[in-house]
Structure 1
Amino acid sequence: MEEMLKTERLHLLEQICDLAPSNGAKSRVAMIFKYRLRQRRDEMMAFYANLKLDDGEYEESEEQGDGYNSDVFGSCEELINWVQKLAYSIGVVVIKRRSNKRSCGFMYRVVLQCDRGGEYKVKDSSKVTGTKKTNCPFELEGTYSDDYDCWTLKVTCDQHNHQPVLFMEGHPYAKRLSEDEFNLVAELTRMNVAPRDILAILKERNLSNVSTLRTIYNACNKIRMVDQVGKSPMQVLLSLLHSNGYVYEITSTGLNELENLFFIHLTSFDIWRAIPHVLIIDVTYKTNHYNMPFLEVVGVTSTSKTFSIAFAFMHNEKTVNYTWVLNCLKLTLN
């Protein structure tokens, strides 16, 4: 019965906000947010009413001023997740503004704000840019209590200077991947699954997922950066060639810089051994950051279909470089 009354009060509050004048519409989010904050406080107070602490029953501190509530959270992550989930349901995104840590590294205070809070820092650029920041004053503060080993939440400012988002599906926050989804993307990426297929799998498992292909590309790039940390580009390339079963040869300069690189896959080699009659060699440019010519050797089947055989990066296009590549190709036959 009590739960039905709370739901009815919330529905009535939303109707009142809809009928409010335009100048008061901006406070609709703050009113609903404040009401649901009090609603959770009532639930937690009912739970802690029977909880005996070391120094007696739990009582709300009289020193708490306006904006404090009796909500308690087991961790900072629980507090942030609850606030973000509540704000998201009413068309607002809340982000972490700053946090304070003790000398031991323990975080005891966190300040949350609207994602439209703050001012855009103008950069020297010829591009015409825009910003979604409106210097929104909305702010929350979470603090850790040493006495009760829990986190409490304080509403520093409950006002927004903008309208809530009607359709959150287009907001970048809604396109974020959850921890389980990100781990799945990492696993599928290491299995060489195409990004479009990864996105299809995510949407099949979670019908409410609104991520885009760009989200998957960004996640894949982040995974690669983690895997490649502490390695040079050449170390990453040679590691990939070795792990994917390529046979390769390299030459270097006196300064230990790459001069030529030849590589061939065993599957391509087997096809070439079966159809060795025609070879086509071509060189392309602007394929890498170092402007090294990229040579490709392809074969032709009896049905006039081409297949890749070998590849090579060359320092320059001189006779000695082409001779080296052809010698490497010849040695693979042995």
Structure 2
Amino acid sequence: MFSTTSSHVDEIQHISPESTGKSLSTEPSIHDTVEPNDADQSRDNVELKDADQSGSTNIEGADIVEEPKLGMVFKSEKELLSYYKRYGQQSGFGIMTQRSHRFEDGSIRYVTLGCARGGKARNRTTNVARPRPTSKTECKARINVMFKKGVLKVSSVNNSHNHGLSPQKSRFFRCNREVSESVKRVLDINDQAGIRMNKSFASLVQEAGGFEKLPFTEKDCRNYIDKARHLRLGKGGAGALSEYFTRMQYKNDGFFSLMDMDDEGRLRNVFWADARSRAAYKYFGYVVTFDTTYLTNRYGMPFAPFVGVNHHGQSILLGAGLISSEDTVTFTWLFQTWLTCMNGEAPKAIIIDQDRAMKNAISLVFPNSRHRFCLWHILKKLPEKLGSHGAYKTGLKSQLLNCVYDSDTIEEFEGSWEVLITKYNLQENAWLKSLYAERTYWAPMFMKQFDNALRKKIESESEADFQSFNVTIPVVSPSPLEKIF
């Protein structure tokens, strides 16, 4: 938990002596070899024997954690850390390891535990007009602990803070938030069952008897699931999928597949495309749509198809994947894999849902492709975003659709939009403001729900090819140009 470089106690931040300002005058050097006298050693032994290991006193049934004092001793690093965390929780501040030094065998030689608000704020943004919030106040509250005669002994103490303390809010400090193994199992089971996180967390709150009884937040649960997710294909599912891909590649040299594994060897994401899809991309890959909202499989994994449109106006599959999460890292892997499958030929244009993670991944993998949002997805949100407006059904909806679909020029759209916003007093509508800011990404494209049964799609295309080959359209004029067409 501690190291000579970047040790942490959940706050995930290392503070060097320089970054904390001037050092404490009572702080010993890590090379200090002064031995305690007999009286000191005797006092240490008494304290270690008489003091409760947790550093607390039981008063009227409640554990009151004793304030840090010079000479306090602890048997182990774990005991020390547990004590200071509970003291911080009782007092109303978060803790962190500010610096430490270890012996060659890995045991602690010297460590400084301090308030998590210690250290200087670092400006992490180039926009000086909008600096990011920081919790750092250069707080000097801390304890220095040295290893002496087989125990860890507090050598200096500063219990004064330069900021407010709130014990009622202690559960929100990162060092006090922990998702137990039993809760993780519940979250995993619920996630596999398709139970949404808000409902899963609500059940945990109900069982515990209130939010304040849980040592973690809903965000902590979401972070755990996002990190732990992988493709849950059932017993033997991953192996069966791998065998299927092997058979397909043996039968067809043009078959492409790739399986993405996590650090523990579990299947995380997968992509595949057959020879027909790869061949079709050469002819119909000018504009590609990508969408994960079509369906999910029985294990809750989003199905992620790349879809084009053939010469019959039919949707055709240009590759597909199953993904374990919908974040920028996952989409980047999927897009890069698809691009590799298509011999590095990026589409001229790609149309997606209005998803920030997809947009970020596209900018990384397809920087030269024209990127647009699917207008159908945008307008599908109208009832949710504007349905409560008093004029939604009597004019707002139709005027908005007219603005979007009937504007032939930029100037016409801008004028129509301004009239709409002003007429219905929508200047402060956050959703419309965000849409307008990204209006250049809109694309008026409507398409039916994609049918992922590839054989049915192939059959439909074959029938259309037959009809095109077997019938002709009678001409309605004597023009030879019409006959050619």
Instruction: Tell me the TM-score normalized by structure 2.
Output: 0.37
What is residue 328 of structure 1 aligned with on the other side? 455
Match of 2:291 in 1: 287
Q: 1:48–1:170: structure 2 CA closer, same or farther, 3 Å change rule?
A: closer
Say whether residues 1:108 and 2:109 are aligned partners. Answer: yes
Determine if the alignment matches structure 1 residue 218 to structure 2 residue 218: no
CA–CA distance in structure 2, aligned partners of residues 327 and 313 of structure 1: 11
How far apart in 1 are the matches of 2:111 and 2:205? 34
With over 3 angstroms needed to count, the CA separation of the structure-2 counterparts of 1:318 and 1:196, relative to structure 1, is: same
1:288-307 paired onto structure 2 within 5 Å:
none
Indicate the residue corresponding to 1:88 in structure 2.
89
Any stretches of 5+ residues in structure 2 without a counterpart? 1-42, 51-67, 259-270, 275-287, 297-301, 319-451, 459-485
**Residue 147 of structure 2 aligns to a residue in which SS?**
strand
Map of 2:200 onto structure 1: 198
- Contact 1:168-1:174 within 8 A present in 2 as well: no
Cα deviation, residue 89, structure 1:
0.8
Seen in structure 2, the aligned counterparts of structure 1 residues 81 and 181 have a Cα distance that, compared at 3 Å, is farther
Q: State yes or no: 1:130 paired with 2:133.
A: yes
Secondary structure of the residue aligned to 2:97 is strand
Distance in structure 2 (CA, Å) of the matches to 1:125 and 1:191: 42
SS in 2 for 1:48: helix
C-alpha distance in 1 between matches for 2:69 and 2:304? 67
Task: Specify the alignment match of 1:98 in structure 2.
Answer: 99
Deviation at 1:117, TM superposition (A): 0.5
Residue range with higher mean Cα deviation, 239-248 or 189-198:
239-248
In the TM superposition, what whole-angstrom CA distance separates every residue of 1:177-229 from its partner, at most 9, and x where no partner exists?
Answer: 243455445543564343224323432443312643222111212323xx6xx
Structural mapping, 1:183-262, within 5 Å:
183-185=184-186, 187-188=188-189, 191-192=192-193, 193-207=195-209, 208-209=213-214, 211-224=216-229, 242=237, 258=271, 260=273
Matched residue SS, 1:219: helix
Q: Aligned partners of 1:321, 1:260: CA distance in 2, in Å?
A: 15
User: 84-93 vs 159-168, which deviates more?
Assistant: 159-168
SS at match of 1:96: strand
The 3-state SS of whatever aligns with 1:103 is coil
Once the two structures are superposed, what CA deviation does each residue of 1:28-56 show, in whole Å capped at 9, x if it has no partner? xxxxxxxxxxxxxx99836637xxxxxxx
* Displacement after TM superposition at 1:135 (Å): 0.5
Change (3 A) 1:197 1:240: farther
Partner of 1:273: none
3-state SS of 2:109 partner: strand
1:123-148 per-residue CA deviation (whole Å, 9 max, x = no partner) reads 23335412121100112122333x3x
Distance 2:103 2:48 in 1: 31
Q: Structure 2: how far apart are the matches of 1:171 and 1:327?
A: 50
Amino acid at match of 1:200: A
CA contact (8 A) 1:169 1:210 kept: no
Gaps of 5+ in 1: 1-41, 50-66, 228-235, 262-283, 289-293, 298-309
Q: Secondary structure at the match of 1:112?
A: strand
Shift of the 154–168 alpha-carbon distance from structure 1 to 2, 3 Å rule, reads farther
Paired with 2:295 and 2:190, the residues of 1 have a C-alpha distance of 26
> Quick check: which one's strand share is greater?
1
Q: Secondary structure at the match of 2:92?
A: coil
Code of the residue aligned with 2:291 in structure 1: it is T
Q: Does the 8 A contact of 2:144 with 2:157 survive in 1?
A: yes
**Residue identity in the other structure for 2:146:** T
Structure 1 residues 328, 118: CA separation in 2 closer, same or farther (over 3 Å shift)?
same
TM-score (norm 1): 0.51
Indicate how the Cα distance of structure 1 residues 47 and 151 shifts in structure 2: closer, same or farther if over 3 A, else same. closer
Counterpart for residue 313 of structure 1:
305
Conserved in 2, the CA contact under 8 Å of 1:110 and 1:142? Answer: yes
What percent identity do the matched residue pairs reach?
Answer: 16
**In structure 2, what is the equivalent of residue 230 of structure 1?**
none
Shift of 1:121: 1.1
**Aligned letter for 2:204?**
L
State the distance in 1 between where 2:47 and 2:131 align.
54
With over 3 angstroms needed to count, the CA separation of the structure-2 counterparts of 1:78 and 1:205, relative to structure 1, is: farther
Backbone CA RMSD of aligned residues: 4.8
Q: 99-108 or 76-85, which moves further after superposition? A: 99-108
* 1:162 matched residue in structure 2: 163
Displacement of 1:97: 1.7
SS at match of 1:152: strand
SS in 2 for 1:167: helix
State how many pairs are aligned: 225
One-letter amino acid of the counterpart of residue 203, structure 1: V
SS at match of 2:200: helix
